[in-house]
Amino acid sequence: MTQATATSIPPATLAPAPRANVWRSILDTLTIPVLAIFTALVASGLIIAFTAPTVLELLPTFFQQPGVVLGTMWNTVITAYLALFQGAFGDWGAILQAVQTWSSTGDATELWRALRDPFESLVAATPYIFTGLAVAVGFKGGLFNIGVEGQLFAGAIASAWLGFAIDGLPWFIHLPLALFGGIAAGAVWAGIAGLLKATRGVNEVINTIMLNYIMFLLTDWLLSDGGPLRGSAGAPRTPEIYPTAYLPRLLPDPVRFHWGFFLAIGAVFFVYWFLWKTTIGFEVRTVGASPTAAKYAGIAVGRVIVLTMALSGSLAGLGGANELLGLNHYMVAAFSPGYGFDAIALALLGKSNPFGVLASALLFGALRNGATRMQSVASVPVDIISVMQAMIIAFIAAPEIVRWIYRLRAPAQQEREVFARGWGG
Amino acid sequence: MPPILELRGITKRFPGVLANDHIDLTLNQGEIHALLGENGAGKSTLMNVLYGLYHPDEGEILIRDKPAHITGPRDAIAQGIGMVHQHFMLIPVFTVTENVMLGDESITNGVVLDRKKVAQEIRDLSVRYGLEVNPDLYIKDLSVGIQQRVEIIKLLYRKADILILDEPTAVLTPQEADDLFQVLRNLKAQGNSIIFITHKLREVLELADRITVLRLGKVVGSADPKSTNSAELARMMVGRSVILSVDKAPAQPKEVVLKVEHLTVRDPRAGDAVNDISFEVRAGEVLGIAGVQGNGQTELAQALTGLRAVESGRVTILGHDTTHATPRQLFELDVAHVPEDRQQDGLVLSFPVEDNLVLNEYYRPPFAQGISLNFKEIERAAAERLKEYDIRTPSIFVKTANLSGGNQQKVIVAREFTGPIKLLIASQPTRGLDVGSIEYIHNRIIEKRDAGTAVLLISNELDEIMSLSDRIAVMYKGRIIDTVNAAEATKEALGLLMAGVQQDAAHAPEISPELKTEMQDEIA
Amino acid sequence: MLGMVATSVMRRTTDVAQQRRWISGAVIVALGLLCLWFFALQVPADMVSKYRFSGGGDAIQLPVVELPTSTTNLILAVLLVAVGILHAARGIKNSGVLFGAVAFFLLAIFLTWSIRGQSLNLTGLLESTLIRSIPFLLGALSGIMCERSGIINIAIEGMMLTAAFVSVIVASYFDNLWLGLAAGVASGALISGVHAVFSIRFKVDQIISGTVINIFAVGLTNFLNLRWLTPVQELNDSGTFSKVPLPGLAQIPVLGTVLFNQNILVYAAIVLMFVVNFLLFSTRWGLRTRAVGEHPKAADTLGVNVFRIRYTNVIFAGMLAALGGCFLTLASVGRFDKLMTNGRGFIALAAMIFGNWNPFGAFGASLLFGFMDSLQLKLQILTSVIPSEFLLMAPYLATMIVLAGVVGRVRPPAAEGVPYEKQ
């Protein structure tokens, strides 16, 4: 067998001229993600149709009136998805009307109200960008940071504390301070897992899971009755932060779009620059691709692991701070609807590329946001989005399924990233 | 009497490689048949076909004169075939008994494993064949030699009478190898038939009843050990009469570059892997480290290159104490390292060729300014090295995994040999490569030597050591048992040293007379 | 020569072991002294801790034990110090015994201190400990089944949640608990079948596959909960398995209440623990499972079907986790609540690691975690100085500490997480 592997490495094949095939290769990279999303939408549609109470009532009569039953199912799905897309991308009829009102009367209230939804998609995408980047950076460094959710909490708590505990600072000091507090808290929380991996060889997956739950309980305690960060209000939450720590909103109410979005875009470019244009990024990628070769090449592998984890955590922490300083302005226990867990789907969908993550985050943000409208208009619970996300990860992780469904040919050589190598002891 | 096993026209293709090309082979009852060939000749592939791990593309297998359809190990076992793999198939945390019974368990009371019964069987087999194995011990606590016996017991327990041993001596000390040969002769005497895979001529001549030589996936001939000799076998194996030799002028050794004093390196599994070693390598000479695999050479190389912690002793490179230096610090001292495992340590296979060409130097100018990488420079240097070292790849952006083994090794050589290197530590620099690549790399090493680099060459291939080295140190059980002048060394003498046989006191002097005068010149 | 090498290795390992022993012994002694100072000497001498053993309705009423808080803790702390000294000097080989002893003394001291001036029904506490440990145990057994064959299982949480939902809805619809149980277990098998196909057939990263299942389970149960259970409450009322006192045994004071007056699923879980342990270490299937989890190639060369073993184990593992999910509904509250597993699947994972992938070890860890869980509930009433959240953190912290090798050492199956490729 050793002989076989030694000789069976195919000789270098003549690669085609790079330029001619750029589009072809872009198409190839996009095929699976696009089909994965499409398939997940279809499958979720089937779930929506088959679980709708109206459909379930009619289902026993399927053979008497198949047309009616199928029609009902179709309507259920269409109503739901129409609401979803209107919620996500805005009701353009209403927007056009509002523009008319504005131009004729000069009253923009209607317009901003109509524009709320599409901007809200960007607002919803913002934490996804941060957490998706956090997971992606980990992947690039060969680390599976499953604790992004906990790091998000850490960042939010730290920025909340810095936001309400310090009064009298000018905004240009207070806001950066609160943001950096979030970054630092996320970095430290993730850094623990990195440090344990680098020094004790403990797999980061299990430790970040454990750190998540520790952070949730820590949050519960901090916000509990008599807890250190409990506000005066009757509910378990911190006091409200001072306006000097707000991430300012950019547009009039009710549009909640704030500067955090541009912070997130900045983070995308930063991560790209860091990973592909710097020596440290090169080290991170080398350690991720082959720790033994990295060690041989003179890279301090342990230090890089801690750094990667800390960077991943700081992105998550910044995401938490951003959400808190830009939207909520105080910390609650139910702070996140699972941004940190969805982030795994984002990173996979975006192939751990910062711009891929950005695209996926915009998509997921739109879906999440649209789902709220879907729930209120078509009474389809928002949680169908989680189901959709799970299916997208599944299809991306096992492209064979997608290829089988659409009868696609397998690529010549397959790459498979293996993140987990056991728990390590 | 018909042969107990017959292979007819076995052909096995891997993507891009014809591993077995219409191979015919017979094995008679009660004989030891040696399958001889270089690394990559297709020996292991053939045996894995026989054992059902690979499925042949063509050909048939006859066992006891009946066609056999072997689709998996289970079929092979049922036919009485047993195989000791090159890498042992033992579970370290299981006892000997559990390892032996796995897959063919004895059961009592309907469901319960009958460990006692199997242990007794192992004891019986152990006595019968002189194996001395305690069934109650855990594999992880056994030496490699004993582990191999457990592998043999696994076969005997399954009543296998066609035994295949794949490179069984590669991991053994000469003493253990001799013990193994005794066991095999015992087995033969009791009627078993054995296929013995190796690339070592001495073993074949000593042990085999019949020899078949494979080269590049084909049978190139058979021989009778009584009427053949090493030279003839070597010619058949390699395909040409002369064994590789390198044209080189006598060395011009200069100042000491690498000085190792009382170096001890510990391995958590095997105790002192390197035990109190001292030697020197001078600029402009090649010191070869010879020895049977597993006598501490790997650990020595790792310790010298900063990949493994040093227990005690001192390493000095050009006057700098590098005992505990990191790989980066050594690189800064112009030390180059061709690692033993090129795919694991030497390359990041998923990276493009250009990145691998600067893997050791990416962090400093001209490739980096501050923390930012300068791709223009990287690409320029990569293209240059590609040309200079004749690396066959369509472009520097191709993934390194897509290169052939020889070209992959050239990437490492290109990277490590560039620049004014003072010390080169090369571990198994040509393992598994084709003859062309071997010659190329050998010439480059000599070029570096002549340019004044001190070279430490570590290789399991005695031929390579003999043709490149100026002095040869032989390692045995973690110690340097002797150092000889390459010009005066004979294969026989080195072989004895590698087997741990110390020669009398009047061995070749460690420092040659010319060297002495030179040293005196320098002092003066 | 070989012998020499062997002894030198042994010498070194004993050196290291001794060093570690002294360190851990010193830590235990320090803990003991800390307890002595704070939980004994700082307590006023006249304070009393009362332990009750009988509930109001028990046939045999045991007397209330009144312990002087300070003196009791003094004795317990001294014993703890003694354990530390004994370990440092002689070495307590069995890390389970050592850990158990230390945990016992620490918890006893803390408990006695917490109830100073008050009384506590110890039997009740132990009973709730057992009940709370059962989902952890079943989840951990699921993890063991799966991981011993080399497949990582972080989807215990998702499998439990799915089964909890399915069991309630089926049991409510058909008004039959057994049918609910069967459906719950089947749903576990189905969902772990997905994990198996992804991990074994498609060779998907096992962590990712597990994450997919967790996200999917959360999403789907939340979705269907809102869609079906919220509007139709009758679908979310399954009732629960009643207690089955074992004749004779249930009348034993304390022990009978804790162990022998439980519902059928508690008994089942305990029996399953023994069954899994027996299967794993004494049968052909177990030997092959462990071989596949350690070195699948070796097993393959001996004719063991690696894929079949892994499929079987993963699917059985899903059924065990599902049983844990059903326990949360059919054996406790009789209804489904959003996200009701609440991290129990991950505590089960922790218990599996803590118990070093052994059923009995996992049960010990489950009991410990279950005790913490019930204790924090009790302490919320008793208003202790230690916030309940910190007690709830214990399983997670303990797992991190054990994995870091600070106390004890665990060793996962060697081939875990690596998809097996046949030639």
Residue B222, domain member (yes or no): yes
The overall longest dimension of chain B from CA atoms, in Å, is: 87
Q: What pLDDT, on the 0 to 100 scale, is given for residue C407? A: 61
Instruction: Test A294 with B42 for CB contact under 8 angstroms.
Output: no
Can you say how many angstroms the Cα of residue A268 is from the centroid of all Cα atoms in its chain? 13
Domain holding B500, by residue range, is 244-334+420-524
CA distance A298 to chain B (A): 4
DSSP class of A333: T
- Does A294 contact B at CB distance below 8 Å? yes
Q: Do residues B441 and B505 both lie within one domain?
A: yes
Residues B165 and B175: their CA atoms lie apart, in Å, by 18
User: Of B199, B223, B238, which residue sits at a domain end?
Assistant: B238
Nearest to C227 among A51, A423, A425 (CB): A51
CB contacts, 8 Å: C288 with chain B = 102-103
- Does B155 contact C at CB distance below 8 Å? no
Q: What pLDDT, on the 0 to 100 scale, is given for residue A65? A: 87
| Count of A-C CB contacts under 8 Å | 168
DSSP class of B269: T
Can you say how many angstroms the Cα of residue B368 is from the centroid of all Cα atoms in its chain? 37
Residue C31 clears pLDDT 50, i.e. is over it: yes
Nearest to B271 among C5, C298, C411 (CB): C5
Q: Do residues B99 and B87 both lie within one domain?
A: yes
Domains of chain C (ranges, CATH numbers): 19-117 (no CATH), 128-403 (1.10.3470)
Residue ranges of chain B whose pLDDT lies below 50: 241-243, 504-524
Q: What pLDDT, on the 0 to 100 scale, is given for residue C124? A: 87
Between C392 and B118, name the one with better pLDDT: B118
Q: What pLDDT, on the 0 to 100 scale, is given for residue A414? A: 47
Residue C384 clears pLDDT 80, i.e. is over it: no
DSSP class of A290: -
Q: For chain A, which chains pass the contact test of at least 3 CB pairs under 8 Å?
A: B, C
CA distance B81 to chain C (A): 11
Interface of B with C in 89-108 (CB under 8 A): 89-94, 98-99, 101-105, 107
Q: Do residues B384 and B485 both lie within one domain?
A: no
- Does B351 contact A at CB distance below 8 Å? yes
Q: Do residues B204 and B272 both lie within one domain?
A: no
Q: Do residues B188 and B214 both lie within one domain?
A: yes
What CATH number is attached to the domain comprising B204? 3.40.50.300
Residue C118 clears pLDDT 90, i.e. is over it: no
Q: Do residues B150 and B14 both lie within one domain?
A: yes
Residues C320-375 have pLDDT tens digits of: 999 999 999 999 999 999 999 988 999 999 899 888 899 999 999 999 899 988 88
Q: Do residues B411 and B519 both lie within one domain?
A: no
Helices (H) and strands (E) in chain A, counts: 17, 0
Q: What pLDDT, on the 0 to 100 scale, is given for residue C56? A: 64
Q: What pLDDT, on the 0 to 100 scale, is given for residue A356? A: 93
Q: What pLDDT, on the 0 to 100 scale, is given for residue A21? A: 65
Q: What is the mean pLDDT of residues A178-206?
A: 93
Residues ≥6 apart with Cβ < 8 Å to A57: none
Bridge partners (DSSP) listed for residue B399: B352
Handedness of CA B172, B173, B178, B182 (dihedral sign): negative
Instruction: Test B19 with A8 for CB contact under 8 angstroms.
Output: yes
Helices (H) and strands (E) in chain C, counts: 15, 5
User: Of B419, B439, B468, which residue sits at a domain end?
Assistant: B419
Q: Do residues B300 and B413 both lie within one domain?
A: no
DSSP class of C201: I
Q: What is the mean pLDDT of residues A394-402?
A: 90
Q: What pLDDT, on the 0 to 100 scale, is given for residue C400? A: 86
Residue with tokens 């020669």: B503
Instruction: Test C227 with A211 for CB contact under 8 angstroms.
Output: no
Tell me the helix, strand and coil percentages in chain A, rounded to 5. 75, 0, 25
Residue of A nearest to C422 (CA): A1
Residues A199-211 have pLDDT tens digits of: 988 888 889 999 9
Rg (CA), chain B: 25
Domains contained in chain B, number: 3
CA distance A215 to chain C (A): 9
Interface of C with B in 137-156 (CB under 8 A): none
Residue B364, domain member (yes or no): yes
Residue of B nearest to C13 (CA): B268
Residues A260 and A247: their CA atoms lie apart, in Å, by 7
User: Of B238, B271, B294, which residue sits at a domain end?
Assistant: B238
Q: What pLDDT, on the 0 to 100 scale, is given for residue B513? A: 44
CA distance C224 to chain A (A): 8
Q: What pLDDT, on the 0 to 100 scale, is given for residue B411? A: 93
Question: Are B432 and B261 contacting, i.e. CB atoms less than 8 angstroms apart?
Answer: no
Question: Are B345 and B366 contacting, i.e. CB atoms less than 8 angstroms apart?
Answer: no
Residues A390 and C217: their CA atoms lie apart, in Å, by 9
Q: Do residues B283 and B200 both lie within one domain?
A: no
How many CB atoms lie under 10 A from the CB of residue A31? 16
How many CB atoms lie under 10 A from the CB of residue B420? 8
Q: Is B282 helix (H, G, I), strand (E, B) or coil?
A: strand
CA distance B348 to chain A (A): 6
Q: What pLDDT, on the 0 to 100 scale, is given for residue C3? A: 38
Q: What pLDDT, on the 0 to 100 scale, is given for residue B242? A: 45
Residue C287 clears pLDDT 50, i.e. is over it: yes
Q: What pLDDT, on the 0 to 100 scale, is given for residue B15? A: 72
Residues ≥6 apart with Cβ < 8 Å to B383: B396
What torsion do the CA atoms of A247, A250, A254, A255 make, to the nearest 10 degrees?
Answer: -100
Q: What is the mean pLDDT of residues A70-82?
A: 92
Q: What pLDDT, on the 0 to 100 scale, is given for residue C59? A: 65
Residue B343, domain member (yes or no): no
The closest of B31, B30, B13 to B21, measured between CA atoms, is B13
Interface of A with C in 363-382 (CB under 8 A): 380-381
- Does B337 contact A at CB distance below 8 Å? yes
Interface of C with A in 129-168 (CB under 8 A): 152, 154
Q: Do residues B147 and B174 both lie within one domain?
A: yes
Can you say how many angstroms the Cα of residue C314 is from the centroid of all Cα atoms in its chain? 19
The closest of C190, C189, C172 to C329, measured between CA atoms, is C172
Q: What is the mean pLDDT of residues A385-392?
A: 92
CA distance A121 to chain C (A): 20
Q: What is the mean pLDDT of residues C45-57?
A: 80
CB contacts, 8 Å: B272 with chain C = 5, 8
Least confident among A137-146, B184-193, C387-396: C387-396
Nearest to C287 among B48, B73, B98 (CB): B98
ipTM of the complex: 0.85
Q: Do residues B232 and B184 both lie within one domain?
A: yes
How many CB atoms lie under 10 A from the CB of residue B503? 13
Residue with tokens 């106390």: C407
Residues C180-229 have pLDDT tens digits of: 999 999 999 999 999 999 999 999 989 899 999 999 999 999 999 999 99
Average pLDDT, chain C: 88
Q: Do residues B150 and B178 both lie within one domain?
A: yes
Report pTM.
0.86
What torsion do the CA atoms of B467, B468, B474, B476 make, to the nearest 10 degrees?
Answer: -90
Amino acid at C267: Y
CA distance C294 to chain A (A): 11
Residues ≥6 apart with Cβ < 8 Å to C169: C180, C224, C228, C229, C235, C236, C336
Between A9 and B13, name the one with better pLDDT: B13
Residues A226-249 have pLDDT tens digits of: 888 888 777 888 999 999 999 998
